[in-house]
Structure 1
Amino acid sequence: MAAGITGRHGETTQHARLKQLAFVWAQTHGFSACAMEVNLPRCRYRADVAGYRSVPKQIGSTAVFECKQALCDLRRDNCHSETARLRLEAIYNRREVLEARLRTHYPNLHNGDSLFPEFDSENFSTIGHRGYARLTRELAALQTRLYDCTKFEKLVRYRCANLFFIVLPEQLFCESEVPVGWGALVESN
């Protein structure tokens, strides 16, 4: 087995330690019902730790704890969809302008896949235009990011809990990286 990887689900030792710390923190702060690796309602995600704290004669509180051991792992789930959507729209508009100009300069790019020539599609990748290739890559990356990398935002929007916390090692904590609507629990040595 690779160094630092435990036998359970390919989880690293540091991630398992962060989960254990979140579990203990939740219990010491009144979350009497806690569990690890909890499937969340109304979404496709699983929480590293989830807890429930009852309040007499009131609705209790639920909390979701997400443990992040690396900055790339944190950023992967922390896409702000509105910003990404605006950037996606700008890139899409830029691609439309570039394609219109390429059609003018390269009229022979038609695939001939339609009965009427005005409805033929063009294959812009055949000319090797670096700017067009870069725009296409960035467009694909943003579409993927918008679909796959909005976990923190979706958990809040889907109301999977009342409280949300990310659990981080001390060297990873940066206040600007904390998602909107989330608190941060920082491991101290």
Structure 2
Amino acid sequence: MDQRITIRRGETEAHTRLKRLAFVWAQRQGYSACAMEVALPRCRYRVDVAAYRPDGKQSGATAIFECKQALVDLRRDNGCTSTTMRRLKKVHHRREVLERNLRVHYPALRVADSLFVEFDSHNFAAIEHRGYKQVVRQIQALQNRLFDCTKFETLIRYRCANLFFLVLPDELFREPEIPIGWGALVQSNGELILARKPVWHETEPESRLRFLQQIAIAGTRVLNRQLEIAFEDVAGADCRP
């Protein structure tokens, strides 16, 4: 069955194997609607596996599975917004102090690009100040981490699903590094073992319906690819009633 799952460009076999295991595990738990590479509603993220479990007259339950095969990949998405913001404010303050001192000691750095002197900019890069260059690099790194490395936290904050699972190989599982509120599924002998239970997050019925719709869209995309149905085949005459 591994061969039936198409490996995406740039994706390793190990990551594809983890997605397959998550896909199977979810269905065994009653999640009858599942899809891979699902774009979440009202969120810029795409998740490895999304699953929906019907619940009679209720609106059902939704789950997200994120597969991580390497420690660096896990830590990249496991940033904390509040911690990063505190560090960013501290480094930004240091930059302001440096710029204030550099204006005094290097008045020639002023660039006369404004009608008013107080609004003129300064070319601090011209003097190759080691401390200033280091501060600028730190700010750029922290800003990138703030906007691009907080996926796990953001998914919970936006309540993108009811349950969240991190899928890991056994050697990668470290309890302190599992994001708060997430469960952990650990690969062992070709199966997934629930190493930590996730926290249930309430969502609105409308959100679960949109989640299910995104699963359907992702599933349709896969079938179109398998059946070699091109965009031109469905973008012809509008046949909607």
TM-score by length of 2: 0.73
- Give me the whole-angstrom Cα distance separating, in 1, the residues matched to 2:176 and 2:7: 34
Contact 2:7 2:13 in 1 (8 A): no
**1:157 pairs with 2:153:** no
Q: Which residue of 2 aligns with 1:181?
A: 181
Q: Summarize the Cα distance change of 1:103–1:82 in structure 2 as closer, same or farther, 3 Å threshold.
A: same
Q: Alpha carbon RMSD of aligned pairs, Å?
A: 1.4
SS of the equivalent of 2:36 reads strand
List 4+ stretches of structure 1 deviating above 4 A: none
Q: Equivalent residues in 2 for 1:4-153 (5 A)?
A: 7-153=7-153
Deviation at 1:57, TM superposition (A): 3.5
SS of the equivalent of 1:86 reads helix
Deviation at 1:15, TM superposition (A): 0.4
Which deviations, in whole Å up to 9, do the C-alpha atoms of 1:26-60 show, x marking residues without a partner? Answer: 11122122221112111121111111122234332
Which deviations, in whole Å up to 9, do the C-alpha atoms of 1:138-166 show, x marking residues without a partner? Answer: 00111111111111111112211100011
SS of the equivalent of 2:41 reads coil
Q: Which amino acid aligns with 2:46?
A: R
Deviation at 1:128, TM superposition (A): 1.2
Q: Which residue of 2 aligns with 1:3?
A: none
- Give me the whole-angstrom Cα distance separating, in 1, the residues matched to 2:36 and 2:7: 16
SS of the equivalent of 1:41 reads coil
Q: Which amino acid aligns with 2:145?
A: R
Q: Which amino acid aligns with 1:105?
A: H
SS of the equivalent of 1:168 reads strand
- Give me the whole-angstrom Cα distance separating, in 2, the residues matched to 1:111 and 1:33: 61
- Give me the whole-angstrom Cα distance separating, in 1, the residues matched to 2:35 and 2:115: 61
Q: Which residue of 1 aligns with 2:3?
A: none
What is the percent sequence identity of the aligned residues?
66
SS of the equivalent of 2:121 reads coil
Q: Which amino acid aligns with 1:180?
A: I
Contact 2:111 2:121 in 1 (8 A): yes
Q: Return 5+ residue gaps in structure 1 as ranges.
A: 1-5
- Give me the whole-angstrom Cα distance separating, in 1, the residues matched to 2:95 and 2:39: 40
SS of the equivalent of 1:125 reads helix
TM-score by length of 1: 0.91
Q: Which amino acid aligns with 2:173?
A: F
Contact 2:67 2:167 in 1 (8 A): yes
Q: Which amino acid aligns with 1:61?
A: A
